[in-house]
Amino acid sequence: MPYFIFLVIFVVLPLLLILIYALQDGAGHFTLKNIAKFFSDGDSLSTFALSIEVAIENTALCILIGYPAAWILANKDLNRSAVTVVLFILPMWINALMRTLATAELFTMAGIQLGKGTLLFGMCYDYLPFMIYPIYNVLNKMDKSYAEAAQDLGATPGEVFRKVTLPLSMPGIMSGVMMVFMPTVSTFAISEFLTNNKIKLFGTIIQENINNSMWNYGAALSLIMLIIIGITTFLQGGDSEEAVSGGAI
Amino acid sequence: MAKDERIINIQHLSKSFGDKKVLDDINLYVRRGEFLTLLGPSGCGKTTLLRMIAGFMQPDEGSILLDGKDIAGVPPHERPLNTVFQRYALFPHLDVYDNIAFGLKLKKTPEDEIDKRVRKVLKLVAMSDYEDRDVETLSGGQQQRIAIARAIVNQPKVLLLDEPLAALDLKMRKDMQIELKEMHRKLGITFIYVTHDQEEALTLSDTIVVINEGKIQQIGTPTDIYNEPVNAFVADFIGESNILKGRMIKDRRVAFIKHQFDCVDEGFGEDVPVDVVVRPEDIYFTTDPAKCQFKATVNSCIFKGVHYEMWVDTDTGYELMIQDYDPYPVGSEVMLYIDPDDIQVMKKERRSNVLSGVVKDEETIRIFDADFPIPNDFEPGTDVVVDVPFDGVELLDNLDEGVLNGEVHFILYMGNHYHLYVKTEDSDYFYVDTNDIWDKGDLVGIKLLPETIKLSKKDEND
């Protein structure tokens, strides 16, 4: 019962509020104008496209850096202590906003132009642990005998990785992708601080609208984002569920 | 025997993990086409040996020859051997067909050849209709068959099997034993099989290698190992047995349970202490006083399915186990005899604990890094040999009262007392005779009884 009350207050009610605000005009009458405005507004659409692009780039970057890191952490020959794992996750103990501000200051001090490069750096820095940890978890729990069996059947170390380790670690990659991709689409603080507001992401627009008391359009944008995230989660959820059961044994 | 007959030849192989020596000077050869079993209790080193043959571990010393060539530096994927793993290790992301085809695809075998061979092995393991199945939907026994199929489809020179039946239930295990034997006969591949199940080893093998504590105890055919165990460990590990202290009076005459018996063993010398093994099915009941060698009273009788298992107390105070098709009532007096052929005499591995120590002062000798209170007349610093009889070691429930602590590692019932191997934390052993009942794994305090100990100065030449 307490869970039910919790769900109502913190999940159902806010969602309903978003829905109601999104479908009303300033005077409180029902309208679909807010939704239509988004699809007819070239700026909003291109910002949205840019957000998706940045999110994809950031996710790819996180996989490229995060997978090898997770692999090294999970490899008992290379890493014998759990402390190293904690070190990788340690930055998460500090508030993301503070880290981002500090990063921006460092760039300014070093005289590096703020722009897309610094934005991706900041995002990757913020979200990398979310990619490393699920992959590390899967690799760490993976039965060593799969790799041994592949070796025994004639696979070189490279083939063992491509044909066994990588496919079996897909569930970890999938949950890493979900934990990195979704939040990057809606982030605004990082882009604000690390590009001096030069690059606007979808989250930034929502934040600006709500800050300027344009509640209805802000709510409509939130709703659209929620729906899109919902659809991708659902699609990926189906995938990763299959992958998880595939790796469960 | 022609050298060519030896497909695998293992010479002076040793391996340690940290301070612990898991394999100690293993010498062994495997004949082409035979079914060889490495048998021993868990932790004896048998799996380590198999993993070194497969290439997953490197020996510290010694060599493994395959067809006469040392394969020390050859990585596992280049060895013409395949393994059936204990937990099968079937790839969960591939179906049955792709699991079996895995090795062939790596070798770039043509598609139609792969197809032909996969179908052939599926038929051999009686799993023909399962090729599209997800491996996780298969039962344990079916996964086992696929694991075997995945290995043999590559036509390895030697098939390595690491306790492949351990995870199956009893009935399934028995069926698979028969099938494995049949498969071995059909394929003509050399099998090296690891198990801790002595019955499985006796059923399947052409040759059994009994391993304990990293050392080979005995190599032989199942009948050799069963009928002529070379020491108390093998006798106790393989089948049921009565293991007793004895004394060789002269050739072909041995005394145990305070009676004398004719036997067939020679060459031990006269009046020499020995261990004697008599299998429970080799002690016979008789009603003919002329045949009777000793009398006993039946103290328990349990039906075991095929036979009855009876414990009898001999007129001289020993307890023996007897298996017979006919039951004798508890409390009845019976006459018993043993055929000379069925008495297995073994050399005693040791007659006492021979420990090396250093004198600390006139009251103390340091042994295994612990100070034992033993009065002595030697100069401090002298190296001494401390000879402690088996009944000169006292085991205590209270660990604090012991000079050293240890764990009961191995227990033999010797008819009227127990013989224990007690292992200290540093893997040193004390051998103890006791009437107290301990269980394997019990932690005990160890004390030595000074009045039983014989001390001598260590000979420099030793």
- pLDDT tens per residue, range B39-73: 999 889 999 999 999 999 999 999 999 999 999 88
Count Cβ atoms below 10 Å from residue B290 Cβ, excluding itself: 7
The rounded distance, in Å, linking the Cα atoms of A192 and A199 is: 8
CB spacing of A247 vs B92 below 8 angstroms = yes
Q: Is B20 left (phi over 0), alpha (psi -120 to 50) or beta?
A: beta
Does residue A82 surpass a pLDDT of 80? Answer: no
For residues B132-139, give the mean pLDDT: 92
Residues of A in contact with B83 (CB under 8 A): 148-149, 152
- Confidence band of A247 (pLDDT split at 50, 70, 90): very low
**Among A143, A154, A248, beta carbon nearest to B89:** A143
Interface of A with B (CB under 8 A): 143, 145-146, 148-156, 159, 163-164, 167-168, 245-249
The rounded distance, in Å, linking the Cα atoms of A180 and A53 is: 13
Residues of B in contact with A146 (CB under 8 A): 89, 91
Q: Are A48 and A203 in contact (CB under 8 A)?
A: no
Indicate the average pLDDT of chain B: 92
pLDDT > 90 in chain A, percent: 28
Q: What ipTM, to 2 d.p.?
A: 0.79
For residues A37-50, give the mean pLDDT: 86
For residues B108-112, give the mean pLDDT: 94
Do domains B246-347 and B353-460 share one topology? The answer is: yes
Classified by CATH at the fold level, domain B246-347 comes out as: OB fold (Dihydrolipoamide Acetyltransferase, E2P) (2.40.50)
CB spacing of A152 vs B81 below 8 angstroms = yes
- Confidence band of A237 (pLDDT split at 50, 70, 90): low
CB spacing of A149 vs B92 below 8 angstroms = no
CB spacing of B106 vs A153 below 8 angstroms = yes
Q: Which is more confident, A239 or A57?
A: A57
Residues of A in contact with B150 (CB under 8 A): 149, 153
CB spacing of B89 vs A168 below 8 angstroms = no
At B98, list the tokens.
Answer: 């792709």
Residue B36: strand pairing partners = B192, B207
The residue in chain A having the minimum alpha-carbon distance to the alpha carbon of residue B92 is A246
- Confidence band of B4 (pLDDT split at 50, 70, 90): low
A108-126 pLDDT tens trace:
899 888 888 899 998 998 8
The domain locations on chain B are: 3-232, 246-347, 353-460
A138-180 pLDDT tens trace:
999 999 999 999 999 999 999 999 999 999 999 999 999 988 9
Nearest to A225 by CA among A51, A11, A10: A51
Nearest-Cα distance to chain A for B177, in Å, is 23
Nearest-Cα distance to chain A for B79, in Å, is 8
Residues of B in contact with A248 (CB under 8 A): 92, 136
Q: Is A26 exposed, middle or buried (0-12, 13-18, 19+ CB in 10 A)?
A: exposed
CB spacing of B77 vs A155 below 8 angstroms = yes
- Going by C-beta distance under 8 Å and a sequence separation of 6 or more, which residues neighbour residue B47? B162, B163, B194
- Position A243 scores a pLDDT of 40
Provide the greatest CA pair distance for chain B. Answer: 85
Interface size between A and B, measured as CB pairs under 8 A: 66
Best of B77, B90, B114 to substitute, by most chain A Cβ atoms within 10 angstroms, is B77
- Position A246 scores a pLDDT of 34
Q: Is B107 exposed, middle or buried (0-12, 13-18, 19+ CB in 10 A)?
A: exposed
The residue in chain A having the minimum alpha-carbon distance to the alpha carbon of residue B53 is A152
Best of A153, A242, A244 to substitute, by most chain B Cβ atoms within 10 angstroms, is A153
Q: What separation in angstroms does the CA of B123 have from each of A143, B82, B95, B118, B120?
A: 29, 19, 17, 9, 5
Classified by CATH at the fold level, domain B353-460 comes out as: OB fold (Dihydrolipoamide Acetyltransferase, E2P) (2.40.50)
Give pTM, 2 decimals: 0.81
- Position B460 scores a pLDDT of 65
- Position A89 scores a pLDDT of 76
CB spacing of B76 vs A148 below 8 angstroms = yes
The rounded distance, in Å, linking the Cα atoms of B49 and B394 is: 36
At B420, list the tokens.
Answer: 């224990």
Classified by CATH at the fold level, domain B3-232 comes out as: Rossmann fold (3.40.50)
The residue in chain A having the minimum alpha-carbon distance to the alpha carbon of residue B147 is A149
Count Cβ atoms below 10 Å from residue B429 Cβ, excluding itself: 18
CB spacing of B93 vs A153 below 8 angstroms = no
Q: Are B385 and B379 in contact (CB under 8 A)?
A: no
**Among B54, B77, B90, beta carbon nearest to A154:** B77
**Among A151, A164, A248, beta carbon nearest to B91:** A164
**A5-9, A106-110, B3-7: least confidently modelled range:** B3-7
The rounded distance, in Å, linking the Cα atoms of A70 and A136 is: 5
pLDDT > 70 in chain B, percent: 98
